[in-house]
Structure 1
Amino acid sequence: MTTSDDGGGALGHEHLDKLTENLRKVEALSKRLMEVMSHKTTHNPALNAPNQELFTRAATAYWSQAMQNPAKLLEDQIEFWGKSVKHFAEAQQALAQGKLVAPEDPGPSDKRFSNPLWDSHPYFNFVKQQYLINAEAIEQAVAGVEGMDAKEKRRLSYFAQQIVDMMSPTNYLATNPDALEKALETEGQSLVQGLENLIADLEANDGELVVRLADEQAFEVGGNIAASPGEVVYRNRMMEVIQYKPSTETVHETPVVLFPPWINKFYILDLKPQNSLIKWVVEQGYTLFVVSWVNPDRSYAEIGLEDYIEEGVLAAIREVKAICGVEQVNAVGYCIAGTTLSMALALMKKRGDKSVKSATFFTALTDFSDQGEFTPFLQDDFIDGIEEEVAEQGILRSYIMSRTFSYLRSNDLVYGPAVRSYMLGEAPPAFDLLYWNGDSTNLPGRMTTQYLRGLCQRNEFCEDGIKILGETLHVKDVSVPLMSISCETDHIAAWKDIYRGVQQMGSRSKIFIVSESGHIAGIVNPPSKKKYGHYTNSDLKGDANAWMEGATFHEGSWWPRWEEWLSKRSGKQIPARDIGDSDHPGLAPAPGTYVVAKSKA
């Protein structure tokens, strides 16, 4: 680490004075920090960690195993002790010999430890190596626990990993060479700016720490993102329906109505022209309508899945049919809105309603028999806590859901950004995707409970059926021609789980696709990027592994394949439609008013 401009080993007086001055600023800012923390918004403590029963069961299983096989316990302990003592002895020996160098073998690569000092500086290398030894010991201890339920073991592994990630030396100033170097280079200004960033994030979220991932001043919804031209042509308490302006002289007769998830906002599909699915669909010659969901406040406490179906999906389809003068539409549902679309289709089947000609699902789960990476949060202790939270607040506040998603990728979405912002004093990047990720929404209390209990825990839609709007709905009742797009590395809706649900759907015409990449990048994958490919296989009789073994890989985006399928179900070409009609005048320019409403408690 350089400590002076001329490469010398000591700070000059001017630099030392400046550093001292900035450290005084840190002290003053600390008082402001304490002030904002004293007014911190509270939430149900059960949402912070699993109840103690999980750790009690783990400890009981561990010690029971130790009593039955003490040699195994001693073996694990001695291995850990041996590595730690050997590591310390080697460092002591190097010091005694005056060799202040790190060992030749720096250990496994990890992007958290990209600074060369982690490998070349004896102090930082010692800290890193001991952390890795400790992490390995914890991981081995958890992996070796026997006699626990598989779900409980999965939860134990997740929370143990959270401890390992939190304790990384990169997360602490005294053991982070990047932060220490930056503090000296900037004469402490980076620490001042970092604390300013921390306090700003706390103040913006009523004392709750939500790390800002993107520069919020760099984007304007309806300005440089979500800027495709269109008009809101219908509005009710649940949604706005946006009709997009045609860009071709003729269009397919059958319109497309797209339902995005109401967890986050629809403009992930319209960030910028280069990767806008909305713009691309319009350019292919379709009349496109997109739903923009309301961001609910406490007055929406009793809104349930039935309201999202009746006043959302069914209302949008009804109004689109009226505007276009058609009997059928092609419907698209993304994530939770795809799950809801599938239930709506089952309800329409029961009612004899044939308004949907085909359905497309983007990363939409219907079979929740395997809870995947959300297993730690879908057990009774957490859901009991959520029920208590929504009973008190009326809604599941946006930061709680946002925090849950972030901790599934904690190093990338929590600790890494926190280090850059709070210890290095860097401004968050001007990254549209991360801006959208931070523009989160609340969830109605009743709907949250229905989803977590009825679908996630009891898997009612695929088991005995879920009772909604006077009908018992089952996945087998989804009988329209359909295409389902899943994503290979999706940690929110795993492709194998989506596949199981599609297999159970009653349609005689089903196409299943697996796109490369994850929940967002696998869907927002324009052909012009030539980035991610996709897999296809028409044989859906076997399990997911058999499907993938027999699948064909295709270079490039799945968008053109979907459009070719969609065009065959979209009727003849007609002159491009004007926006709205006499009964549906323009209420506001796209992207509408609901999308710009911020989360409120």
Structure 2
Amino acid sequence: MPRPPHAPGDQASDASQAAWQLDALAHAAWARMNASVSPQSVWLAWFDWASHLAISPGKRLELLRLAQDQREDLLLYLRQYWQADPAQRADIEPPISDKRFRESEWRQWPFNLLLQAYLMAERWWQEAGQGVWGVEKHHENLVNFWAHQLLQVLSPANYWLSNPVVLAQTRAQAGANLSRGLANWLDASTRQLAHLPPPGAEDFVVGRDVAATPGKVILRNDVMELIQYAPSTGQVHPEPVLVVPAWIMKYYILDLSPGNSLVRYLVGQGYTVFCISWKNPGEAEGGLGMEDYLQQGLFAALDAVQAVVPGRKVHATGYCLGGTLLAIGAAALVRDGDERLASLSLFTAQTDFSEPGELALFIDESQVSLLEAQMKRTGYLRSDQMAGAFQMLRSYDMIWSRMVREYLLGERGSMNDLMAWNADATRMPARMHSQYLRRLFLDNDLSSGRYEVGGKPISLADIALPIFNVGTLTDHVAPWHSVYKLHNLTPAEITFVLTSGGHNAGIVSEIGHPHRSYQIHTRRAGGRYRSADDWQAAVPVRQGSWWPEWAAWLQARSGAPGKPPRMGAARRGYRVLQDAPGSYVLEK
């Protein structure tokens, strides 16, 4: 991987080189000791907050007043509780209600006191962590985040003796719930130590139950395999669809079970579909960079698609980081006069990283430098390092509530295809990940016109292709407000869809899925800008899946159906190598 900006140059003295290597080793060890989280970044945030709070008497008085108000509210509630008839005590409305504690047992003594004290502490720290004069925004976000994490640890729901729901289950089941919980904990610990998937994942075998859409691998290189899917209709549209998934995940998020596979749905709509399956990188691939993923990934796949379907423009589709790469590649193609693309479809893909959402909590100079030092030793970022950050962003749903359910209540939920896919993790090449974090997140080069492809800068403003852009309402990886910023970067026609669900579940939104809704509106080329919030307020909500909208959008930009192409193009060097899903997706 390339050295970070502070590394000595090749002409530096041996002493300087040795000093830098020593620092790199020390930082890598520090990263391992602290679960890849930079303590310095956290300490700086707390010092910034505490030192500015110390010279903000108005804010301190406001927090003191809040604490006094909370004390009075709590005393009033307890007085009403004890003065009421015992049969009516549970009906007394507490000062603070929270859906996490909706069970009636939480309104019984002494658990109501524990709960209200905890919720008031949460409310107090929420107010304390924001609005302090002079605190840097990033530091304010970090203080709020880590205060929330610490309070999550202290929640009375997490402990047997302070959780009335668990105590009631223990009495009713004579402790059988705790026995099952211990067995669940032992099983989970054993699986984690042995690097085994969670229970039930074995029911979703890649190539049999998921990633099962028929097709052939027609290209393999050091970065990816390219899958061409077999047609399921007698005729197909002449313009093929090339899907570029993110390499932070296995591609088959878009080809899950037959009933919720976006790839299978698209094939059924009469399209010749190609999909990239990225290699799961190891130490040997640590030197792969963003340019490699562009040249050997997107551009190599585009060459192969054009060989199979010559003379036809391509509907290019990118998901998450694959969508960011596709936007970069599309701008480079336009710059170089390459007109092989018919349209762009970008799903939960950021192109402006000025407001990247909650992931920015883990991305600053201190944090990135720490990761670079650790990746220098391994050549890649481990999947568990990425998973840990995502889990902390949703610590209640992904950590604490699951632990209470499985280990205290003894209940284990059933596995589904999306959960099994999520457990089938991937790694990130060191060089690529460093470039991605620095050039896109830290420096925001892409939206600023500083990003270079082939040594020359590109601009998204050059893209005039019609764009189908999808954001998801509760996305914590690529917040939809950030995805919407594409409207600021190109004058092209943009059909923007805001769909219910999160980063993955919002995209896996098959027809017939209950409780799905979306909003859709097209800004014509050169049209006036409308803010994201104004857009959301003005565009009506529609019920159901957004997939048919995308299919109709593609059809309006496609020619009349005709005979399907052959599988591969052997005469042009793209022979069939093996059946889908190929070999790269099976790498662990």
Task: Report SS of the residue matched to 1:519.
Answer: coil
Secondary structure of the corresponding residue to residue 250 of structure 1: coil
Deviation at 1:479, TM superposition (A): 3.2
Deviation track 1:166-202 (CA, whole Å, cap 9, x = no partner) reads 3211111221233333444444443343233334333
Matched with 2:49 is: 58
Residue of structure 2 equivalent to 1:195: 182
Aligned to 1:360: 345
Query: Is the contact between residue 346 and residue 469 of structure 2 (CA under 8 Å) also seen in structure 1?
Result: yes
1:503-542 matched pairs, under 5 angstroms: 503-505=488-490, 507=492, 509-529=493-513, 531-538=516-523, 539-542=527-530
- Aligned counterpart, 1:322: 307
Contact between 1:51 and 1:381, CA under 8 Å: does it hold in 2?
no
The answer as to whether partners of 1:534 and 1:557 remain within 8 angstroms in 2 is: no
Deviation at 1:311, TM superposition (A): 0.6
* 1:569 and 2:557 aligned: yes
Confirm or deny: 8 A CA contact 2:290 2:435 kept in the other structure.
Answer: yes
Contact 1:359 1:480 in 2 (8 A): yes
Aligned counterpart for 2:394 among listed residues 377, 395, 409: 409
Q: Deviations over 1:349-370 (max 9, x none)?
A: 2332222221111111101111
The correspondence for 1:454, drawn from 434, 439, 463, is: 439
Whether 1:258 aligns to 2:243 is yes
| Range 547-556 or range 281-290, more displaced | 547-556
Deviations 1:507-540 (A, max 9, x none): 3x33222223332233222233373232214255
Structure 1 alignment gaps of length 5 or more: 1-40
Distance 1:45 1:279, change over 3 A: closer
Q: 1:204-260 deviations in whole A, cap 9, x for unaligned?
A: 33499x9x7763233212222222111222111211111111111111112111011
Residue 270 (1) aligns with residue 255 (2)? yes
2:326 to 315, 334, 341: 341
Q: Distance in 2 between matches of 1:267 and 1:540?
A: 37
Query: What percentage of aligned pairs have identical amino acids?
Result: 33
Q: Does 1:181 align with 2:172?
A: no
Residue equivalent to 1:79:
69
Is 1:587 the counterpart of 2:577? The answer is: yes
CA contact (8 A) 1:44 1:385 kept: no
Secondary structure of residue in 1 paired with 2:206: coil
**Matches of 1:159 and 1:553, distance apart in 2:** 36
Q: What is the Cα deviation at residue 590 of structure 1?
A: 1.9
Cα offsets for 1:401-424 (capped at 9, x unmatched): 112122222211121112222222
How far is 1:73 from its partner? 4.9
| Offset, 1:330 | 1.5
Q: Which moved more, 1:387-396 or 1:422-431?
A: 422-431
Matched, 1:222 2:192: no
1:377 deviates by 1.4
Query: Contact (CA 8 Å) 2:53, 2:59: kept in 1 or not?
Result: no
Give yes or no for contact 1:346–1:474 (8 Å, CA) kept in 2.
Answer: yes
Deviation, structure 1 residue 280? 0.9
Deviation at 1:397, TM superposition (A): 0.7
1:499 matched to 2:464: no
Label 1:321 to 1:537 Cα distance change in 2 as closer, same or farther (>3 A).
closer
Q: 1:373-403, CA deviations, whole angstroms, 9 ceiling, x for partnerless residues?
A: 2231122232222222212221111011112
CA contact (8 A) 1:537 1:551 kept: no
Number of the residue aligned with 1:3: none
1:540-551 aligned within 5 A: 540-551=528-539
Q: 1:81: Cα distance to partner?
A: 4.6
Aligned counterpart in structure 1 of residue 226 of structure 2, from 224, 234, 241: 241
| CA displacement at 1:454 relative to structure 2 | 0.7
Name the residue aligned to 1:114.
102
**Alignment deviations for residues 238-287 of structure 1 (CA, whole Å, 9 cap, x no partner):** 11111111111111112111011112212222222222111110011111
- SS class of match (1:564): helix
* Bigger mean CA offset, 231-240 vs 565-574: 565-574
Q: Which of 107, 124, 129 is equivalent to 1:137?
A: 124
Q: Select between 164-173 and 526-535 the one with higher mean Cα deviation.
A: 526-535
Alignment of 1:350-389 (within 5 A): 350-389=335-374
Tell whether the 8 Å contact from 1:465 to 1:473 is kept in structure 2 after alignment. yes
- Output the amino acid matched with 2:232: S
Deviations 1:414-456 (A, max 9, x none): 2111222222233342222222222221111111111111101
Residues 102, 343 of structure 1: alpha-carbon distance in 2 compared, 3 angstrom cutoff: same
* Distance (whole Å) between structure 2 residues aligned to residue 44 and residue 430 of structure 1: 31
Residues of 2 paired with 1:81 and 1:144: CA distance? Answer: 22
Question: 1:174 is paired with a residue of what secondary structure?
Answer: coil
| Paired amino acid for 2:140 | K
Q: Deviations over 1:60-114 (max 9, x none)?
A: 1222113x676445424433554566667778x679x999965722454434323
1:375 aligned counterpart, secondary structure: helix
Seen in structure 2, the aligned counterparts of structure 1 residues 257 and 43 have a Cα distance that, compared at 3 Å, is farther
**TM-score of the superposed pair, with normalisation by structure 2:** 0.86
Residue 77 of structure 2 contacts residue 95 of structure 2 at CA under 8 Å; is this kept in 1?
no
Cα distance change, pair 537–166 in 1 and its aligned pair in 2 (3 A): farther
Measured after TM superposition, the shift of residue 487 of structure 1 is 2.1
Partner residue, 1:15: none
5+ long unaligned stretches in structure 2: 1-30
CA distance in 2, matches of 1:560, 1:86: 55
SS in 2 for 1:173: coil
Distance 1:272 1:70 in 2: 55
In structure 1, distance between residues paired with 2:190 and 2:479: 36
1:364 maps to a residue whose letter is: A
Report if the CA contact (8 A) 1:232-1:243 is conserved.
yes
Partner of 2:273: 288
Look up the SS of the partner of 2:478 in the other structure: coil
Q: 1:54·1:156 contact (CA, 8 Å) conserved in 2?
A: yes
Give the drift of 1:542.
2.9
Alpha-carbon contact 1:503-1:540 (below 8 Å) kept: no
Aligned to 1:437: 422
Q: 1:78 to 1:177 in 2, by over 3 A?
A: closer
SS at match of 1:204: helix
Q: Report the Cα distance in structure 2 between the residues aligned to 1:424 and 1:122, rounded to whole angstroms.
A: 21
Q: Tell me how far 1:296 sits from its aligned partner.
A: 1.1
State the AA in 2 paired with 1:140.
E
Q: 236-245 vs 184-193, which deviates more? A: 184-193
Amino acid at match of 2:285: Y
The 1-side partners of 2:396 and 2:475 are apart by 17
Tell me the distance in 2 between the aligned counterparts of 1:291 and 1:43: 36
Partner of residue 92 from structure 2, selected from 82, 85, 104? 104
